[in-house]
Homo-oligomer: A and B are copies of this chain.
């Protein structure tokens, strides 16, 4: 017999360590989780396989949703735009217009069908590059819009549990929850090993360093530049 008290959540899973931590956190909070993974044409295909592995490791069913964005305009999608090897200021070239809005919209549709109580997303306000769709005011506005525009109304909470955490705090939390960091992928490039040069690699390394935890992706890991 189905337990009516079981809470259900849709968790956006990217293959990175933030969303993996959120998945393990949602599980720890008692949610029955469904992982939603997007194949949106990202050049760093590793992400998708890693997300599926993480979901499997957590014992959570996953759905890979393929969406094609016929327009480009981001270094993550467009071969003509290079992933930069330096930390950017302002809105970076890796910004994919309205990406989180699209992802959350699909999650909302899925959550309505599942009669889920929550959607979890691993964004954090101190995110490395100032993406507009990672800001606290965006998530608040999205929740209001979802309440106005769906049959489920206000029944579906938009949970952004990492919103006020920095990378090292996320890694510390994930470590306690048993997140398999060795399965996750952060690099914006698609090599066999992380490039160690893009924004995302840099902040991952810095986060592990600050948390005092070894990144299982690397046997030994030295920051590119300690001064940065």
Q: Would you give the 0/1 interface string for A144-178, flagging 1 where the beta carbon is closer than 8 Å to chain B?
A: 11111111110000000000000000000000000
Q: A98-B108, A112-B98 are known contacts. Are A144 and B141 too (CB-CB below 8 A)? A: yes
Would you call A222 an interface residue if the criterion is a C-beta within 8 Å of the partner chain's C-beta atoms?
Answer: no
A69 and B144: CB pair below 8 A?
Answer: no
B97 and A108: CB pair below 8 A?
Answer: yes
Q: A95-B151, A101-B105 are known contacts. Are A110 and B144 too (CB-CB below 8 A)? A: no
Closest approach, in angstroms, between the C-beta of A90 and any C-beta of chain B?
9
Q: Tell me, in angstroms, the Cα distance from A141 to B105 when the chains sit together.
A: 14
Closest approach, in angstroms, between the C-beta of A122 and any C-beta of chain B?
16
Chain A interface size, as a band, is 35 or more
Would you call A65 an interface residue if the criterion is a C-beta within 8 Å of the partner chain's C-beta atoms?
Answer: yes
Per assembly, the copies of the chain total: 2
Q: Would you give the 0/1 interface string for A117-153, flagging 1 where the beta carbon is closer than 8 Å to chain B?
A: 0000000000000001101011011101111111111
Q: In this complex, what residue of B is CB-closest to A100? A: B149
Within 8 A of B (CB), among A59-84: 63, 65-73
A133 and B150: CB pair below 8 A?
Answer: yes
Q: Tell me, in angstroms, the Cα distance from A142 to B164 when the chains sit together.
A: 25
A102 and B100: CB pair below 8 A?
Answer: no
A65 and B70: CB pair below 8 A?
Answer: yes
Closest approach, in angstroms, between the C-beta of A40 and any C-beta of chain B?
10
The residue in A95, A132, A133, A140 that gathers the most chain B C-beta atoms within 10 A of its C-beta is A132
Q: A148-B135, A149-B133 are known contacts. Are A97 and B68 too (CB-CB below 8 A)? A: no
Which residues does A use to contact B, with CB under 8 Å?
63, 65-73, 91, 95-102, 105-106, 108-110, 112-114, 132-133, 135, 137-138, 140-142, 144-153
A/B interface sample: 19 pairs, CB < 8 A: A66-B68, A71-B113, A72-B113, A73-B112, A73-B113, A97-B112, A98-B105, A98-B106, A98-B108, A98-B112, A98-B150, A100-B149, A101-B105, A102-B102, A133-B149, A135-B149, A141-B144, A141-B145, A142-B145
